[in-house]
Structure 1
Amino acid sequence: MDVDLSADTALTTALIARPLDWRVRIVEHVEIDTATSCLRRRSLQALPLRTLLPSSAAQAAQDATTALVVLNVASVPRGALLDLDVNGPENAPAFLLPRAEIASRETDFLLALVEDSGLGSVDEDVRQLMEAVLGYTSTGWDLADAEDLAKYANSYLEDGFGRPLPEAVVAGWLDVDGRIASRLAGYGEAGAGLSPTEHPLLALPSFADAIDYESLDWHERIQALLTKYLTLLEEAVADAASSAQSAAGDFLSSLADYGRNYDMLVATTVPLDEPFLLKYSERRALSWAHNETQQDLVISDALSNHVVLSVDDPNVRITSVRARTAGQDSDAFGAFTTRQSQQTYAVYAHDPDRDYRITLDFTLAPLRRLQFVINTTTVLLVLLATAVAIEHPSQLRDLALIIGPSALAASVLLNREPSTLGSHLRRRSTAALGIALVLLLVAGVGSYLAPHLPDWLIER
């Protein structure tokens, strides 16, 4: 018998709040297979959920063996998901919830932490602001930091509200927005761009359709709304400072994390009395600095986390890997290397006291034997070009013997890499080889033509 528990938000809140009670092991595979992106595959081994059901869900599922539930599969960066594929137990279909619904359930979880901390109830206005903040998606405005926000706030908000705004009003909103950001500073990880939970001003245009613009005090109402949000954060900061282990601290950390990431909530059918397995895969972009790139990973959302980094191209090797705490330069805490080779790097984390999120910095390079061929050929061509420039051979047979190795260089340049990754990693050595080939050809052609040029052309 099957029961639908997907509408039970209390169950979703319980599963988000108590991940270690049902997540046994997570295995994540990061496969570098192209120059622009990597394939991320994650499998989640879970315990039976019946003992975690809240009273309302437990009563509805007392005669059921399976249930349609909403599960948080992973924490993913804000933005569009590329090539997403999610499978429930035994390849059952799994459906990603709409972004607004995810924001609503994340708000339920955050407000449950507020209630546990004893900070009091949160009114409906603040709840709506939190949902807007958590559901915020990037716009066409390129607001990289707080300075950009302050500079373009008037234009951004006028575009969002569809009407001009007094500068004094926007300045007041910006002041509260800056104080909010200062309260959350230190609870989240540094990252590119603005966090909407730290800068709720970004989400204000989402209220544009619900505002009565005929009311003379609508500016003040938004100011009051931002102030309520600020007051909630100030009370949470004060409570968190008084206790190292507090629900208020968890609320602030979760709210800050939701500014740059969100829970991938999916609805799927799972057995209630048996362990089950969830799988998902997606693509993440790669940004290179020389031949080095990085990937962020969560390693503390299960009792144990196993991460495997590998390269798909057999002509590419991993030269170095460093695991560090996300947003910091210190080495990651609680992550242990279990296996390392030229094409595989594995990390295992099981210590309860470990980083939640880490960053893998890794450098890739072509295999040494392939790079040796290119480098040797490049050096040979440069030496031959230098010899031609010094000796100036003019006989065609001599030049043919000297320039003959250019065919080897051409074959290397025309060789097709099995992946765009290999081509990307060889771009500098290939460019050097191409330049050396051109130098040799120019020196050879110039040496042959020089004796045959008319005297007047040489004189000119």
Structure 2
Amino acid sequence: MGNFSKGNLLDFSVTVNEKPAYLLPRTEHAKIYAKFLKVQASEASLSLDSDLKQFLEWIFAFTNADWQRVWGDARRSRYSSAEERDEMVLRYLLEQGIKRYTPGVPSSDDVRDWSVRIAPIRDIVSYSVGANIDSASQNPLLALPKVPFASGVDEGDIADLLDRLVKLVKDADQLSLSKTPAGEAAKRLVAAYAGYGSYWDALVECDAPLDEPFMIKTQEKRGLHLAEPGETVQNGLVRGSNWAWRKASSQLVVVGDAKSNHVNVRVADPNVELYAKGVRILNERYEKHDRGPDFQTATPELLSFYYSAQREGGRPHRVWLNLPLRTSLSGSTSRWVILLMTSTALVAFASFLFHWFNAGVNRTIGAGDVAVILVPSAIAASLLLVRESSTLNAEITKRWTVVTGFILLALWVFTMLMYGANKVDWGGGNKMRSSMPLVELVAVERVVR
């Protein structure tokens, strides 16, 4: 019914012929995926035995919650070294264990040896669909704790299983270069193996009329992912900085699963618009490719494009959309007004500092200076606080808002400190205020006497 990134689905629904359909369990998905690879291997004359087929089922059924707890969100970035990667895998295997592993627990030497053996698979998968540290296809060691081995196994048995998997994927990758039916089957095998580690094809149970046309509809909600395509957690990299000056949303969409795929991206927020000139369509490795869409139009409110199966040179199965966002003209107007008010206060403050350092011992701030600093600051602060802003617009302008608010607060604090230190010249008010207590004290003493 559709291809989705592995993870939680928000408000997902699917209907077939206007009737609800029901997703198959995750393990059933994995079994069907493994059967598909078995068929492709047979057509390509490659060896895929029952033990390897069962291993593939657990690779495709892998869930990353336990692995994420070991790796940790703070360190979810590209592996800095092979040693660090092997250390995290060892911790994961020690916590989860390997069923019927006769040595008891794997050693660091075992993990290092297994990691070297699967290096060709990591390279093939990373090139095919991009690096993803949560993909068991890229790192089959992650699926070992889930495999229900029928009898006792040792490090040699696991090494043999990994070698057979590596041979299958390597042979298929080499055979996929040939323009033969076997090469086409091998190409599908490699694409399916690499893709099913990071994505899944939704399979549903439903009743469909086979003698008449019918409609299939899928619906889901996605997070905005305000980061570059290669900086999302979903793809094994840390999320982009939330404090970047320019914000862009990245979305992965399928454009190669039908005769023609039409994609429309609309901005419903009136305070936000697309930066049309900065829109990019990238491949799964986050690179710009020559196979662009058959038609594309981009405006501040809408991005629309489509791919067709008749396109010469083929088309990608998935593409990344990099969508730069910015505030609309109406939203930018209030920002420029606030910036003008804040700049006025800063200019007055800078002028005062210049005269203050050249005033010698008598360093005071006049009432006019206070008014020029505080009045624009008060207006800017009121506009900053009361202006209407959506959640998305607030996220896009967060850095600008925080910097402006900090400057306004600093100006107010400076003025209050000067007032508290009696450094504000009110045109004689200071002398009267300082002499009044003495006059009152003398008057009271005279009355008592």
TM-score over 0.5 (shorter chain):
yes
The separation in 2 between residues aligned to 1:346 and 1:183, in whole angstroms, is: 32
Cα distance, 1:438 vs structure 2: 2.5
Of the three residues 111, 119, 144, the one matched with 2:38 is 111
For normalisation by structure 1, the TM-score amounts to 0.73
Question: Which residue identity does 2:57 align to in structure 1?
Answer: E
Of the three residues 223, 229, 243, the one matched with 1:284 is 223
Q: In the alignment, what sits opposite 2:317?
A: 356
Q: Residues 196 and 396 of structure 1: is their aligned pair in 2 closer, same or farther, counting only changes over 3 Å?
A: same
Q: In the alignment, what sits opposite 1:178?
A: 119
Cα distance, 1:379 vs structure 2: 1.7
List aligned pairs for 1:20-419, cutoff 5 A.
73-90=1-18, 92-120=19-47, 122-138=48-64, 139=66, 140-142=69-71, 145=79, 147=82, 148-161=84-97, 163-182=104-123, 184=125, 186=127, 188-207=128-147, 209-213=148-152, 218-243=154-179, 246-272=184-210, 273-284=212-223, 286-288=225-227, 289=240, 290=244, 291-319=247-275, 320-331=278-289, 333-350=291-308, 351-352=310-311, 353-367=314-328, 368-390=332-354, 396=367, 399-400=370-371, 403-415=374-386, 417-419=388-390
Question: Which residue identity does 2:343 align to in structure 1?
Answer: V
Pairing 1:440–2:411 present: yes
Q: Residues 338 and 330 of structure 1: is their aligned pair in 2 closer, same or farther, counting only changes over 3 Å?
A: closer
Q: Residues 234 and 404 of structure 1: is their aligned pair in 2 closer, same or farther, counting only changes over 3 Å?
A: closer
The separation in 2 between residues aligned to 1:156 and 1:300, in whole angstroms, is: 36
8 Å contact from structure 1 (residues 236, 249) kept in 2: yes
Question: Which residue identity does 2:326 align to in structure 1?
Answer: A
1:187-243 Cα offsets, whole Å, 9 max, x none, are x12134253113211111112x44534xxx544332322222222223323422333
Cα distance, 1:376 vs structure 2: 2.1
8 Å contact from structure 2 (residues 11, 219) kept in 1: no
Cα distance, 1:425 vs structure 2: 1.3
Cα distance, 1:413 vs structure 2: 1.9
The separation in 1 between residues aligned to 2:401 and 2:122, in whole angstroms, is: 47
Where does structure 1 lack aligned partners over 5 or more consecutive residues? 1-72, 456-460
Cα distance, 1:182 vs structure 2: 4.2
In structure 1, the residue corresponding to 2:207 is in which secondary structure? Answer: strand
Q: Residues 317 and 370 of structure 1: is their aligned pair in 2 closer, same or farther, counting only changes over 3 Å?
A: farther
User: In percent, how many aligned pairs have the same letter?
Assistant: 26
Q: Which structure is larger by alpha-carbon Rg, 1 or 2?
A: 2
Q: Residues 194 and 428 of structure 1: is their aligned pair in 2 closer, same or farther, counting only changes over 3 Å?
A: closer
The separation in 2 between residues aligned to 1:112 and 1:243, in whole angstroms, is: 19
8 Å contact from structure 2 (residues 342, 376) kept in 1: no
Q: In the alignment, what sits opposite 1:57?
A: none
For normalisation by structure 2, the TM-score amounts to 0.75
In structure 2, the residue corresponding to 1:149 is in which secondary structure? Answer: helix
Question: Which residue identity does 2:411 align to in structure 1?
Answer: L
Cα distance, 1:134 vs structure 2: 0.7
Cα distance, 1:259 vs structure 2: 1.9
The separation in 1 between residues aligned to 2:418 and 2:170, in whole angstroms, is: 79
Q: Residues 246 and 444 of structure 1: is their aligned pair in 2 closer, same or farther, counting only changes over 3 Å?
A: same
Question: Which residue identity does 1:409 align to in structure 2?
Answer: A
